[in-house]
Amino acid sequence: MKDILKDRPNVLPFLPLLYVGWADHAMMPAEVQLIHRRMKEMDWLSDDERELILDWSNPANPPSPELMGSWVELIREAAERMDTQSRQSLAELSLKMAEQSANGAANWDTEEARSAMGDIESALGYVSLKDYRNILSDDQRKRIAELDEEPCFDSAAMSKLLDGEYADIKNRVRQLFAQPDFQLRIIKNKEIYREQTLKWTKLMAAEGLGAISYPKANGGEDDITQYASVFEIMGYHDISLAIKFGVQFGLFGGSILGLGTQKHFDKYLTDVGSADLLGCFAMTETGHGSNVRQLETTATYDRAQDEFVIHTPHEGAGKEYIGNALHGEMASVFAQLITNDEEHGVHAFLVPLRDKKGDLLPGVRVEDCGYKLGLNGVDNGRIWFNQVRVPRENLLNRFGDVDGQGNYDSSIGSVSRRFFTMLGTLVGGRVCVPMAGLSAAKKGLTIAIKHSLKRRQFGPENEAETLLLDYPSHQRRLMPLLANAYALDAAHKYLLQRFAKRTEEDMREVETLAAALKSYSTWNTTHTLQECREACGGKGYLAENQFADLKADTDIFATFEGDNTVLMQLVSKGLLTELKEEFENTNFWGLFKTFSKQFADSVSPFNDSGNTEEEHLLDTGFHLETFKRRERAMVMELGQNIRRLTKMGMAGYDAFIRNQTNMIALGHAYAERIVLEQFAQFIQDCDDLELQSILKKLCDLYALSHIEKHKGWYLEKGYMKGDKTEAVTQMVDRLCGEIRSDASCLVASFNIPPHLLVAPIAL
Amino acid sequence: MKDILKDRPNVLPFLPLLYVGWADHAMMPAEVQLIHRRMKEMDWLSDDERELILDWSNPANPPSPELMGSWVELIREAAERMDTQSRQSLAELSLKMAEQSANGAANWDTEEARSAMGDIESALGYVSLKDYRNILSDDQRKRIAELDEEPCFDSAAMSKLLDGEYADIKNRVRQLFAQPDFQLRIIKNKEIYREQTLKWTKLMAAEGLGAISYPKANGGEDDITQYASVFEIMGYHDISLAIKFGVQFGLFGGSILGLGTQKHFDKYLTDVGSADLLGCFAMTETGHGSNVRQLETTATYDRAQDEFVIHTPHEGAGKEYIGNALHGEMASVFAQLITNDEEHGVHAFLVPLRDKKGDLLPGVRVEDCGYKLGLNGVDNGRIWFNQVRVPRENLLNRFGDVDGQGNYDSSIGSVSRRFFTMLGTLVGGRVCVPMAGLSAAKKGLTIAIKHSLKRRQFGPENEAETLLLDYPSHQRRLMPLLANAYALDAAHKYLLQRFAKRTEEDMREVETLAAALKSYSTWNTTHTLQECREACGGKGYLAENQFADLKADTDIFATFEGDNTVLMQLVSKGLLTELKEEFENTNFWGLFKTFSKQFADSVSPFNDSGNTEEEHLLDTGFHLETFKRRERAMVMELGQNIRRLTKMGMAGYDAFIRNQTNMIALGHAYAERIVLEQFAQFIQDCDDLELQSILKKLCDLYALSHIEKHKGWYLEKGYMKGDKTEAVTQMVDRLCGEIRSDASCLVASFNIPPHLLVAPIAL
C-alpha cells in the first residue's frame, strides 16, 4: 500500500474523502463526477495519480475491506497529528494527509485546493470525524469527547446582545422576582391562586412597573417599550401574573389611555397604575368574540338624566372571559352607543362594578368562569348589566363624544374607520402577548436542552449511554425550535420599535405586522412547548418541571387578543390592499395580467432551482429571495382568485371565504419572511464577530428548515428541483449537529435565572 | 342572446360550466383544452355550436359582465326546475339546461354525455351551487339552507357497525357510567381526586370488569378483547380512572398472568381482579425508562434464607412514576436477577410494600411524584428498596426460575430473547392505551364539531352569521381529523384481533404493529385535541368543556408504555429484519443492488404521476399503491444506508443512530399504510351500502390528506408531478366540504352519551 502511494503522494489527501464516500453511502455517480471534475482542475496530479483515484472511486468496483483498512491506517496517522477539535472537517484532514508526503503540502495548502476539497466534502454530506470512531485512536476519541463538554462561547455577551437597550429594566425585573415574595409555587385551588396573583400584581404596581407606559403625570414613564420588556420577563415567572398584570395595566388602563381624554387620565390613571383601582376590559361577549363589531350590549343615552344606560339585552350578550371580573371595581365596557334612537357603533364606557367594600353594585351580575385549562390565577368571569346607569362623562370620548342634547360627534367620519381606530387599542396586546409567549418557549427550550445534556439513554455496547442531545432525532426536534426562538426574538424587537414609533401613516402596516407575528409566534410557542415536554419524557410530565403550567397557561394565546386564524386572514387582507395600492390609478386588471406573466417568466432566470452548492445553500440572499418569492407568488395568486370571483358576481364575503385556506397560508408566509428579514438584519447589525457567526448558523437553520417545511410548495411550483430539496434536508441535518455544540450556551444566553427556571431537571 | 342560442341549443348545457370556469378562476389553457377535447367526441354538436363554445371559452377574450349576466339568467331558469339538493353538481345542472331546448334532452341524457360533462366539471374544480348565491333565487337558497340542517344518515346503524362484536360490553360500560356514582366532576386537589379514582376502580372491579381478561377460575372471562373494549369506553370517562384501572388490572395483574405461573395465579389473581389486592408495576427507574435492559435495581438470591434481596443500589435507581404507589399493597418489581454472583438479566418479583393497615413495610420508601401535567387522579410515586427480602416463590418464574441451590434455569436460552419475551407483557398496554386515546380524540371531535354547528361568527352583510363549520378553514381543520379517527378505529380493531390471536410465530409482527399504532395513534390524539381546543376558541379553554382534562390526561400517552420516538425506531428495526429475511440465503448485497435497480425502473411504468382524473384520485387501489411504494422505498433506502455503513466499519449502533430521523419517518409511513389498508378492508367488509359510501369518502380523505402531507416526498422522488399534487389538494378541499354535510351524524355515530360528553357547548 505504502509502496503504491509512494509514487502517488497526491492521492493521500483523497483518502479521507474516498473512505467516507464509500463508508457513508455507496459512491453515487454524481459524487464521482464531482470528484473527477475537481480533480481535473488540479494540474499538479500525475496521470498515475489520476488513474488510481479513478480506480478507487469506481461505483462499479467498491474497494475491498482490506483496502479500506489500509486507508484507515494512513488516515489515523494523520488524524493523530491534528489539533483536537470537536468538529474536524474532512477537508482539513485531507490537508494533513498531504503533509505525509514531502512534496504534497505545497500543492495542497492553497485556496484553490482547499476550496476543491471542501466542495467534494460537502457533496459527500457533512460527516464529523466523531462519527467514525474506528478511524480514531482511543486517546483521540477521549480528547474529542472532553472538548464536547467545554463551554462554547461567551453567553454573557450574547445575553447582553439579546437584552439590548432594555437590559436595565429586564435585569431589574429578573432581580425583583428573586425576592421571597415572588417565589414560584404550584397552587391548585383557584381562590388561593387568585389571591396570590392579586398580591403579586399589587407588588408589581408598588414597584412602579404597572404605570410604566402611562404619562409621567400619572406616575409613569410614558414608555411602552419598557412596559413590553417587563411583560417579556414576566413570561418566565407565573404567566397568570403576566395576564392579570396585562388586563389591569395594559387593557383596562390602556383603554382609558387610548380611548379616553385628559379628564379620564386625571381622574383614574394614577389609581389604575398603583392598582388601587382594579379594572376589567369588558369587550368579548358570549355571542361575539372575534366579531367585535356585532357586540350586543347597548349604551343608550338618557337625555333626561344625562346618563348612559348600559344594558345586556339577553343572556348570550353577557361579557365573557373577562379578566379581573372577581376583583375589579370598574370595567371598560364596550357597547353599541345609541343616542336619540340612532346607533353609532361600538364605544367604551367606564362602568363601576363594585363598591369599595367589594360588593357588586345594583344591576351588575358577575359569575366566575370556573376552572380553566390554565391561567387559574386569573379571575375570569362573565358580566351582565341590567339597566346600569353611568354619567355621560364615563364615555371614553377620544374618538366620539355625545353632548348634553344627545348629539353625537366624532373626528372620524367613517363608521368603519372609527371602529378600526378604536380597535387599534388592542394592538398593544398583540405586540406584548407573543413576547411573553416567546419567553415561555425559551424557558421550555432551556429546560429541555439542559435536561438533554445530562440525561443519557441507550448507547453503544460497553460505552457510556448516549446523551439525549447527541441523538440526531433529538437535535432535529429541538434545534430548529431554538433557531425559531432566536429569530422571533429579533422580529419582536422590530415590531416593538415599529409600534412605539407608529404614526397614523404606518399604523395599518404595524397592525398587519402585529397580527402576523402574534399568530405565528404564539403558535410557535404551543408547538415548541409540546416538543419540549415530549423530549423530556416522564420528567416533562411532572408539574415541578414546569411544562404543565407553561403549556396550559400559553395555550389560550392562540385565541385571545385576536384568534390566530382570524388574524392571519386580516393579515392577508392587509397584503391584498397593499397589492391593490401598488396598481392604483392604473388599469388594475390589465396590469395584473402583465405582471403575472412577467412573474411567471422570472422563474426561469431564477436558475438556481437545482443549485446544491454549500455556498449557495448558506447564502442569506438566497434565503430571503426564496421566502419573498413564495410570499409574492401567494399574494398574487390570491389577489387574482378573489378579483376574478368578485368580478364575475360572487359577493366579496364569499370570495374571501372560498380562499380562506390560502389566506391563512399567506399570513404564515408573510410572517416567516418578516422574521427572516429581521433576524438577518439583527445579525448584520451585530458587531461581535463570534456572536455573529453563531447567529448566522441559527439564521441558516431558521431559513432552511422553513424551506424544507414548504418543499412541497417549492417543488410543486417548479421553484426547486428534488436534488435541491434533498440537499436542503442534508444541510438542515448538518446545521442541527453544528448548533448542538453551542446549544448549552445558546440557552444560557436567554439568561433565565434559576429562581425563574425552577425545574429540577434543569438546575 | 336567446336568439343566438335558439339555433345552437346544444350550447346551453355548457353555460354552467363556462360560467363557473370564468367565475371561479380565469379559464386556464389546460381546462379549455379539456373542454375542446370532450366537445370533439360529441358528434351531435353543429359547427356553429362548436364555434360559439370555442369563442366563449377563449382565454384571450374573457366574456363581458353583460354576457355573463345573460348566462346567469338562463342558468337560473334551469336551477329553478331542479330538485333541491344541498350539493347539486354542475353536470346535473347542465342536463337541466339541455331540457330547455326541444331536441336537447335526448342527446344529453346519455352515459357518454354525463361522463364528459362530469369530467369537465371536475377539471374546473368542485363547486357547489350554494357558492353561487347569485345564480339562485332567494327561495332556492332558502330551500338549500334548510336541507343543510337535515340529519344525514342513520347514525345508529353506523354506531352499531363501529361497536361491532363488542357492542354488548361497550353498551354495558356506557350505561354503568350513567350511574350517579360515576358522575364526572372537576377535582383539583390530588388527594381527594385519588380517593375518587380509587373508589371508581373498586366499583369497576365489583362489576367484574377488572378481572375480565383473567382466567375463569380467577373470576374472569379470559377475554382480552372485552378488557380492551372496557378500556376504550373508559377513554370517554375520567382518564385517571382508565390509567389507574390499567395499572391495577392490566399491568400489575397482567405481569402476574404473563410472567408468573399457576401458583401465582392461585394465590393472587382473584384478589387482584376484585381490587382487594392493589398493586404496582414497578419497572421504570429514574435513570432508566426506555432502556429497560439496563435497570439497576437488583434481586440477589440468598441461598441461606432461600430469599431474594431486592435492593436499590443508589438514589437514581429508584422506581419512578409508578402508578398505585400510594395505594398499592404489593408491586411487581423488575430487577436484575443475581444468583451465585451471576447476572441473569431483568426479571419480575412480587414485593409487598405495605401491610393491611396501609403502613409501609421495613426497607420500602415511597415518595409522591406530586402534581403532574394531568392524570392527577392517579397516585404516581417513586419507590426505593433497601435490602428488602421476599421468599423465592415471589419470582415470577414463567420464563426463568431459580432452585433452592441458586441454580438458574430458563426455557429460553438466549438472554436477549428472554428479555424481549418478558417485555412482551407490555404489548397489551400498547394495544389498549391508544384505544382510550382515540376515544379522547373522538370526544374532542364530537365537542368541537357540535359546537361548530351551533356557533356563528361573522357573515355576509344583512344575513345570518356563518356557522363555524361552513368555513373552509374550519372544515380543513377538523374533517381530516375526523377521517383519521374513523381510520384508526378500524386499525385498532385489527390490532386487537391480531393481538388476541397471536402465536409465537407472529408475535414479532404483532409487536411491530402495536408499537407503530401506539405511537401514530397517540400522537394523532395530541394533535387532534389541540386543533379541537383551538377550534372552540375561548369556550374550549374553560374546564367545563373538557379539553383541559382531555389534553392534559392524554399528553403522556406519547411517553408511557414506550416512548413514541423509541417505538418508531423499533418498528423500523422490525421492518429491516423482515427485509433481511426476504433476502435470506441469498447474496444479500448483490440482490439488494439488483432489486434497487428494478425498483428504480418501476417508477416509470407507474406512469400516473401526472394523472389528475377524479376516478383515479378517488381510487383506493391508487391510494394503497401510493402508500406502499413510499413505505417500500423508505425501507429499501434505510436498509441500503445501514448496510453500507456497517459493511464499511461503522458500529451497528452508530449506523442506526445516523439514520434515526429516517427510521422515525419510516415508522410513520408503515403505520399510515397499515391504517389505510385496514380502513379499506373494514369498508369492503361492510354490507350496508349507504354507510359504505360515507366511509369511502372518509377513507379517500384519509388517503389524500396524507398524500398531500407528504407531497414534498412524492415530488422530490419524482413519484408525482406538481399538477397531480395540486389536484390532490383540490380534492381534499372538496372532500372536506362533502364530509361536512355528514359531520353531525359522523360524530353522533361515536355514541358518546351525554353523561360522558358533559361539555355544555356540546349538549
Q: Which residues pair with B307 in a beta bridge?
A: B302, B391
Give dist(CA A142, CA A185) in Å, integer: 42
* A118-122, A218-222, A469-473: least confident range: A118-122
For residue range B402-458, list pLDDT tens digits in order. 999 999 999 998 888 899 888 887 899 999 999 999 999 999 999 999 999 999 998
Give the DSSP per-residue string, B658-693: HTHHHHHHHHHHHHHHHHHHHHHHHHHH---HHHHH
CATH 1.20.140.10 fits A428-603+613-762, yes or no: yes
A266 vs B76, more confident? A266
CATH of A279-423, one of 1.10.10.10, 1.10.3720.10, 2.40.110.10, 2.60.40.420: 2.40.110.10
The position carrying cell 439513554 is A457
Q: Which of residues 619-678 of B touch A (CB under 8 A)?
A: 640-641, 644-645, 647-651, 653-654, 657-658, 660-661, 664
Contact of A568 with A664, CB cutoff 8 Å? yes
Say what the pTM is.
0.88
Give dist(CA B190, CA B194) in Å, integer: 6
Provide, as residue numbers in chain B, all residues whose Cβ is less than 8 Å from the Cβ of A594: none
pLDDT at residue A37 in the model: 79
Residues above pLDDT 90, as percent of chain A: 69
Look up residue B464 and give its DSSP letter: P
In angstroms, the separation between the Cα of residue A134 and the nearest Cα of chain B is 7
- Contact flag A716-B733 (C-beta cutoff 8 Å): no
For residue range A125-134, list pLDDT tens digits in order. 555 555 555 5
Contact of A89 with A103, CB cutoff 8 Å? no
For residue range A131-156, list pLDDT tens digits in order. 555 566 666 666 656 655 556 899 99
- Contact flag B645-A733 (C-beta cutoff 8 Å): no
Q: CATH 2.40.110.10 region(s) of chain B?
A: 282-411
Active site residue B677: no
For residue range B212-247, list pLDDT tens digits in order. 999 999 999 999 999 999 999 999 999 999 999 999
Q: Which residue of A has its CA nearest to B547?
A: A373
Which of B169, B127, B161, B129 lies closest to B145 in space, CA to CA?
A: B129
Is A187 an interface residue toward B (CB < 8 Å)? no
> In the Cβ-directed half-sphere of B555, how many Cα atoms lie within 13 Å?
31
In angstroms, the separation between the Cα of residue A103 and the nearest Cα of chain B is 31
Mean pLDDT (chain B, rounded): 90
The position carrying cell 379594572 is A279
In angstroms, the separation between the Cα of residue A356 and the nearest Cα of chain B is 30
Give dist(CA A22, CA A10) in Å, integer: 19
For residue range A364-408, list pLDDT tens digits in order. 999 999 999 999 999 999 999 999 999 999 999 999 999 999 999
pLDDT at residue A623 in the model: 97
- Contact flag B284-A538 (C-beta cutoff 8 Å): yes
For residue range A674-711, list pLDDT tens digits in order. 999 999 999 999 999 999 999 999 999 999 999 999 99
* A516-520, A566-570, B95-99: least confident range: B95-99
- Contact flag A526-B526 (C-beta cutoff 8 Å): no
For residue range B369-415, list pLDDT tens digits in order. 999 999 999 999 999 999 999 999 999 999 999 999 999 999 998 88
- pLDDT higher than threshold 90 for residue B599: no
- Which of A661, A668, A720, A734 should be substituted to probe chain B, the one whose Cβ sees the most B Cβ atoms within 10 Å? A661
Contact of B289 with B459, CB cutoff 8 Å? no
Alpha-carbon distance values, B696 to A44, A411, B735 (Å): 67, 59, 11
Give dist(CA B71, CA B15) in Å, integer: 6
Q: Which residue of A has its CA nearest to B711?
A: A712
pLDDT at residue A169 in the model: 98
- Which of B27, B661, B723 should be substituted to probe chain A, the one whose Cβ sees the most A Cβ atoms within 10 Å? B661
Q: In terms of DSSP bridges, do strands A307-311 and B330-339 run parallel, antiparallel, or are they unpaired?
A: unpaired
- Which of A530, A549, A559 should be substituted to probe chain B, the one whose Cβ sees the most B Cβ atoms within 10 Å? A559
- pLDDT higher than threshold 70 for residue A124: no
> In the CATH hierarchy, which fold is given to the domain comprising B160-273?
Butyryl-Coa Dehydrogenase, subunit A; domain 1 (1.10.540)
In angstroms, the separation between the Cα of residue A368 and the nearest Cα of chain B is 11
- Contact flag B373-A547 (C-beta cutoff 8 Å): yes
Contact of B732 with B705, CB cutoff 8 Å? yes
Cα of A136 vs its chain's centroid, Å? 40
CATH 2.40.110.10 fits B282-411, yes or no: yes
pLDDT at residue B150 in the model: 59
* A351 Cβ contact list (under 8 Å, min separation 6): A282, A310, A330, A331, A332, A333, A364, A385, A388, A390, A394
- Active-site hit among B49, B561, B672, B677: B561
- Active-site hit among A561, A631, A672, A677: A561
* A411-425, A480-494, B237-251, B498-512: least confident range: A411-425
Task: Give the full edge-to-edge strand order of the sheet including A364-368.
Answer: A319-322, A381-385, A364-368
- Contact flag A544-B725 (C-beta cutoff 8 Å): no
Provide, as residue numbers in chain B, all residues whose Cβ is less than 8 Å from the Cβ of A374: 541, 548
- Contact flag B552-A555 (C-beta cutoff 8 Å): no
- Which of A185, A451, A473 should be substituted to probe chain B, the one whose Cβ sees the most B Cβ atoms within 10 Å? A473
Q: Which residues pair with A338 in a beta bridge?
A: A300, A343
pLDDT at residue B151 in the model: 66
The second-level CATH assignment, the architecture, of B428-461+468-762 is Up-down Bundle (1.20)
Provide, as residue numbers in chain B, all residues whose Cβ is less than 8 Å from the Cβ of A563: 537
A158 vs B91, more confident? A158
pLDDT at residue A63 in the model: 80
Q: CATH 2.40.110.10 region(s) of chain A?
A: 279-423
Q: What average pLDDT does the segment B162-186 reach?
A: 97
Look up residue A372 and give its DSSP letter: B
pLDDT at residue A690 in the model: 96
Contact of B331 with B379, CB cutoff 8 Å? no
Q: What average pLDDT does the segment B536-546 reach?
A: 97
- Contact flag A542-B369 (C-beta cutoff 8 Å): yes
pLDDT at residue B594 in the model: 54
* B171 Cβ contact list (under 8 Å, min separation 6): B163
Q: What average pLDDT does the segment B187-203 reach?
A: 97
pLDDT at residue A67 in the model: 83
Look up residue A350 and give its DSSP letter: E
For residue range A460-508, list pLDDT tens digits in order. 877 788 899 999 999 999 999 999 999 999 999 999 999 999 998 999 9
Q: How many CB atoms lie within 10 A of CB B315?
A: 10
Q: What average pLDDT does the segment A290-317 reach?
A: 96
* B763 Cβ contact list (under 8 Å, min separation 6): B754, B757
Q: How many CB atoms lie within 10 A of CB A232?
A: 27
CA B34-B39-B42 angle, to 5 degrees, is 140
The shortest CB-CB distance from A372 to any of B134, B294, B542 is to B542
Q: Which residues pair with B342 in a beta bridge?
A: B339
Q: CATH 1.20.140.10 region(s) of chain A?
A: 428-603+613-762
* B18-22, B668-672, B749-753: least confident range: B18-22
- Contact flag B661-A733 (C-beta cutoff 8 Å): yes
In 3-state terms, chain A is what percent helix, strand and coil (to 5)?
65, 10, 30
Q: How many CB atoms lie within 10 A of CB A428?
A: 23
Which of A673, A631, A706, A748 lies closest to A494 in space, CA to CA?
A: A673
Q: CATH 1.20.140.10 region(s) of chain B?
A: 428-461+468-762
In angstroms, the separation between the Cα of residue A649 and the nearest Cα of chain B is 7
Q: Which residue of B has its CA nearest to A718?
A: B722
Alpha-carbon distance values, B733 to A3, B94, B468, B627, B672 (Å): 68, 23, 16, 20, 21
